[in-house]
Amino acid sequence: MKIKSLLFGISIILSLGFITPIDNTVYVCGKSEIYHNSKKHSALGRCKSGIKEMKESEAKKAGKRICKCKY
């Protein structure tokens, strides 16, 4: 019984060590307040002021919101 408890405890500790927050790359057109998860989004295809690539956490800190499109 002690061995099972010990193995369970070790497995929990090891699994928690591998959990890392994901900070995806997102795309913003110029000074837009909206960011997109895909560089191939149709709105970015119409962008004339340049597409900026940034981390999702940076976009949120800058006050941007995610695109509401479902694709």
pLDDT digits (tens, 9 = 90+) for 8-66: 777 777 676 666 667 899 999 999 999 999 999 999 999 999 999 999 999 999 999 99
Answer whether residue 47 is part of any domain. yes
So what's the pLDDT on residue 6?
Answer: 76
58 token code pair: 């940076």
Answer whether residue 16 is part of any domain. no
Answer whether residue 11 is part of any domain. no
Structural domain for 36, as ranges: 22-71
String of b and e for 8-20 (b: at least 16 CB within 10 Å)?
eeeeeeeeeeeee
What's the structural domain count of the chain? 1
For residue range 46-61, list pLDDT tens digits in order.
999 999 999 999 999 9
Bridge-based pairing of strands 34-36 and 25-29 is antiparallel
Answer whether residue 64 is part of any domain. yes
pLDDT of 71 strictly over 70: no
So what's the pLDDT on residue 19?
Answer: 64
Coarse DSSP helix, strand, coil percentages of the chain, rounded to the nearest 5 percent:
35, 20, 40
